[in-house]
Amino acid sequence: MELITNEEYRHWLTDIKNKIQGAQIKAALAANKELILFYFELGQMLEAKLSTSKWGDKAIIQLAKDLKTSFPDLKGFSRTNLYYIKQFYHFFSKSIVPQLGGQTPKTKIPQSGGQLVEQYICQLPWGHIKVMISKIKSLDEILFYTQKIMENNWSRDIFELQLKSNLYQRQGIAITNFSTTLPNPQSELAQQSIKDPYLFDFISLSDPYVERDIENQLVNHISKFMLELGKGFAFLGRQYHLNIADKDYYIDLLFYHVILKAYVVIELKNTAFIPEYAGKLNFYLSAVDSLLKKEDDKATIGILLCRDKNNIEAEFALRDINKPMGISEFQLTEVLPDNLKSSLPSIEEIEQGLKLDDNDIKKTDS
């Protein structure tokens, strides 16, 4: 059966074309909000019709052709995009929004996925939404990234980078003592400002290297470093000099957090965490509070970044410290030295070693 001659299909096509013309008149499909809301309505029409008809996928193929003919200057009605539109509606129409408190926008939390689209998702570009519905399964995670995109004005490339780095899984899980050393809501804001682990995959170093080498690379790649740190961090200096009791001390990295209204001291340790590190950081926090902190600044916060840590050991180390402090791991890309590279097998040798003849496969299966 040719759909183009089917009376039911023709009536359905006319309804969709009228919707498109209405949207053109209202906003020329240029305002992002109107476009996203229209896509949600179109997705509803697609799902409702395809679930009750016997047309199958050929209906979307035919619809894409007919819409292109009727609206040659409009983009967004390709077969692929129509599938995305249908998936967009299906995902959010079936969703019940979890009440996530601090991870959702500050106004009244919507109860349904449709309300969420109307109030928040429609503020995102369509390219961001396509990434969400194709790569994220959890609505809480979508809520998290929606808020981050709106707060930070992320491009799609930046959003995909944060998604690839598993920001949702890393945000706010560092070992800290913020709940006992900072008042609410600052303690919650500070907790959400720290990740574990930090991913410095833009750094490539060959062994042996020390903390100073890592510091140099972080400063050389300051824009990527600031992106990994997150919103609110203002860089003040590396090896920041303090004079205490006529002795010179140097803070690895010093920041000011414009949202928390507090200095942030970051100490790098290219080793596993040991409790003594917390004591040294506590000393620096006291010094910054005394020498740099102004009357309207909040308590200085410390972040200790180590290559590895034992969570129980870290919790014990922070238990009786009265300065706000967090402990996280960091990861970076390590480049193999030339002498080790030469001893590694080539790609061809690896491929040859992976080849199994039929007998080997049978033995493995048995």
Q: Specify the pTM.
A: 0.75
Is 52 part of any domain? Answer: yes
Please tell me which residue, 79 or 153, carries the higher pLDDT value.
Answer: 79
- 90 in the same domain as 181: no
Is 274 part of any domain? Answer: yes
- 201 in the same domain as 100: no
- Among the ranges given (12-16, 158-162, 207-211, 292-296), the one the predictor scored with the smallest mean pLDDT: 207-211
For residues 236 and 353, what is the distance between their CA atoms, to the nearest angstrom?
52
Is 25 part of any domain? Answer: yes
Residue 216 backbone dihedrals phi, psi, to 5 degrees: -60, -45
For residues 325 and 275, what is the distance between their CA atoms, to the nearest angstrom?
13
The SS3 assignment for 273 reads: coil
The SS3 assignment for 121 reads: helix
- 329 in the same domain as 219: yes
Is 344 part of any domain? Answer: no
Write the pLDDT tens digit of every residue in 164-179: 999 999 999 999 999 9
Rg (CA), the chain: 27
Is 9 part of any domain? Answer: yes
For residues 134 and 281, what is the distance between their CA atoms, to the nearest angstrom?
43
Is 324 part of any domain? Answer: yes
**254 pLDDT more than 90:** yes
DSSP secondary structure, 176-201, as one string = E-HHHHS-TTHHHHHHHT-BSSEEEE
- 219 in the same domain as 125: no
300 neighbors 288 (Cβ within 8 angstroms): yes
For residues 303 and 136, what is the distance between their CA atoms, to the nearest angstrom?
30
Range ranked top by mean pLDDT from 64-78, 247-261, 334-348 = 247-261
Residue 62 backbone dihedrals phi, psi, to 5 degrees: -70, -40
End residue of a domain, out of 133, 168, 203: 168
- 177 in the same domain as 108: no
- 156 in the same domain as 38: yes
Is 255 part of any domain? Answer: yes
**81 pLDDT more than 70:** yes
End residue of a domain, out of 139, 168, 197: 168
- Among the ranges given (51-55, 99-103, 145-149, 310-314), the one the predictor scored with the smallest mean pLDDT: 99-103
- 181 in the same domain as 235: yes
- 244 in the same domain as 148: no
- 111 in the same domain as 59: yes
Write the pLDDT tens digit of every residue in 203-234: 777 767 778 888 888 888 888 899 899 989 99
End residue of a domain, out of 168, 184, 217: 168
Is 308 part of any domain? Answer: yes
- 179 in the same domain as 160: no
The parent domain of residue 55 ranges over 3-168
- 317 in the same domain as 213: yes
CATH code, 316? 3.40.1350.10
* Mean pLDDT of all residues in 67-92: 92
In order of 66, 289, 355, the CA distances from 69 in angstroms are 5, 68, 52
Residue 144 backbone dihedrals phi, psi, to 5 degrees: -60, -50
- 124 in the same domain as 214: no
Write the pLDDT tens digit of every residue in 14-25: 888 888 877 665
Look at residue 109 in the predicted model and tell me its pLDDT: 58
Residue 261's closest CA among 231, 229, 300? 300
Q: How many domains is the chain partitioned into structurally?
A: 2
